[in-house]
Amino acid sequence: MGFFVERSRTFHRKKILVFASLVFLAALVLVGRLIYIMVFRGEYYIKMATDLEQRERDIKAARGEILDRNGVVLASNASVCTISVIHNQIEKPEEVIAMLVKELGLSEESVRKRVQKVSSIERIKSNVDKETGDRILAYGYAGVKVDEDYKRVYPYDSLASKVLGFTGGDNQGIVGLEVKYDEYLMGKNGKILTYTDARGVEVYNAPEARIEPENGNSLVTSLDYNIQSYCTQAAQKAYIKKEADGVEIIVMNPQNGEIMAMVDYPEYDLNQPFVLTEQYEEYAGTGEENEYLNKMWRNWCISDTYEPGSIFKIVTTSIALEEDLVSVDDRFYCPGYIYVEDRKIRCHKTTGHGSESFKEGIQNSCNPVFIDVGLRIGASTYFDYMGKFGLLKRTGIDLPGEAATIMHSKDAIGPVELATMSFGQSFQVTPVQIAATTASLINGGVRVTPHVGCKIIDAAGNTVEEFAYDSSNIICSEETSETLRMLLESVVSEGGGKNAYIEGYEIGGKTATSQTLPRSANKYISSFLGFYPADEPKVLVLVIIRNPTGIYYGGTIAAPVAKEIFENIIPYLDK
């Protein structure tokens, strides 16, 4: 009997020992887990707890301004409010709904849906004027939040709209400079942190923590408000007078590629960028509205290509001078046409110019002369110079959506293609490419990068970053550039560009008239490119009138527009 009792005691002791060991191991695991949580995962769980007891709302950063070269503000901000509600903090839902409907002019159905939605925070309306926001705040309703915000505003409405671009509802750039320089302009939002209880209701009298926003830096551009205004007025006048599809004007400093003005008329209202202009208003509310909004925002100066026509004779002349294949006094004969293989290509003067020098040929914009010169150059050399001059790639302008040149492949350039290329047909380039290439050929031969952005400054006006553009690529000799300037000055003073002539000023330039595809549509593009002063250019002006009614010759309708611009900006630049 004692034996069994002893065995029973031993058995119980073992059970107790095993149980105690298990308890000890469990306690050890729990202690280890606590140490792991407190020491190694402490920050993570502190953050989780904080997140549960804190509610955060954004404080919007003010977007940086966009300025012209003289400090004129082209894009700024207006103080507005964002109205939101927090469902589980609202104590008088019906009164809140009625108040928001009254103050915000929204439908009861839409407000009720948002107020009754169970979420951490629900936005009712943004871009609310500050006066309305203050009235809503004065009601003192629990659960209604009025947060400071900013709305992008453009003081001059449509001025330079295709260049500046605009922002979306979140103040992020969508097109133009606004999107190109978005990272500099947008800033960094701040936070408002409020403490809540387990139900998500704000703790009474608990302090709010604020993380202040960092406002964006400002962009200083090469645009000149006055020159942009002059050009916009000139484009509008030409657009109305010629009932054209559009008018484009580029004003550039040929020495460094700075864009002083860029107009693509009609422009649109930057403060109402989703309202179709008169040109496209018939498509409002249709399924095609987005397509025509994109057309309205599109900058034809950089995003579309066209046959440049006789302006491109500037390029042919430069190649021939560089290769020493023509001199100013070389003689040519124009009977009004020229045969290339089996193709009869006419001069614009069908009766012909007769005997003429090369200088007279460029003054007369004589196609047979330039076809002759182009054939002397040869397809391979011509194509190689197209590459050397930078015409076979994009200019690199600091605006989104630049189109590339549409050109024959080198092997596909036969005598007929070369003949038509020599006077600016059978290929397509952008207006900004024509402006940049011509600027490079007349400035002494330095290839420039057209650009609008100059530098980034902070709120105190200190330079944060200055942008540099490559100017190391020499594309022609100074001698060629000098001869070219002399020839183009004679075009204005003695030749087909005389409608741009201003007494007392030496202006160089070239006219052009080209036909759009398909040729059967009988639509034309009239243009004139001029620069001043002819001996040392500091401003270049390109005028393009698309599909004008009536007379469509560039020398007749585009040159006078350029003259008007020069008459306004030369005294302004010389002062």
What residues act catalytically?
A: 310
**What residues have CB less than 8 Å from 53, skipping those under 6 apart?**
195, 196, 197
DSSP, residue by residue, 509-549: EEEEEEEPSSGGG--EEEEEEEEESSSS--EEEEEEEES-S
Angle in degrees, CA 473, 259, 251, rounded to 5: 110
Residue among 242, 293, 246 nearest 265 (CA): 246
Number of other residues whose CB lies within 10 A of the CB of residue 262? 28
> Is the bond leading into 93 cis (omega within 30 degrees of zero)?
no
3-state SS of 546-571 is: ECCCCCCCHHHHHHHHHHHHHHHHHH
d(CA 480, CA 326): 11
Helix and strand numbers, DSSP H then E, in the chain: 19, 19
Query: Pairing between strand 259-265 and 246-252?
Result: antiparallel
Sign for the pseudo-dihedral over CA of 216, 263, 396, 222: negative
Residues across the chain:
575
d(CA 527, CA 307): 11
**What residues have CB less than 8 Å from 497, skipping those under 6 apart?**
491, 509, 510, 511, 528, 530, 555, 559
Sign for the pseudo-dihedral over CA of 23, 24, 25, 27: positive
The first and second tokens of residue 529, run together, are: 């490119």
What are residue 59's DSSP bridge partners?
190
Alpha carbon dihedral 326, 329, 332, 334, in 10-degree steps, equals 120
CA 342 to chain centre: 46
Amino acid at site 32: G
d(CA 139, CA 208): 20
d(CA 108, CA 383): 68
441 and 389 in contact (C-beta within 8 Å)?
Answer: yes
**What residues have CB less than 8 Å from 482, skipping those under 6 apart?**
none
d(CA 524, CA 552): 7
Buried residues in 42-74 as b, exposed as e (16+ CB within 10 A): eeeeeeeeeeebebebbbbbbbbbbbbeeebeb
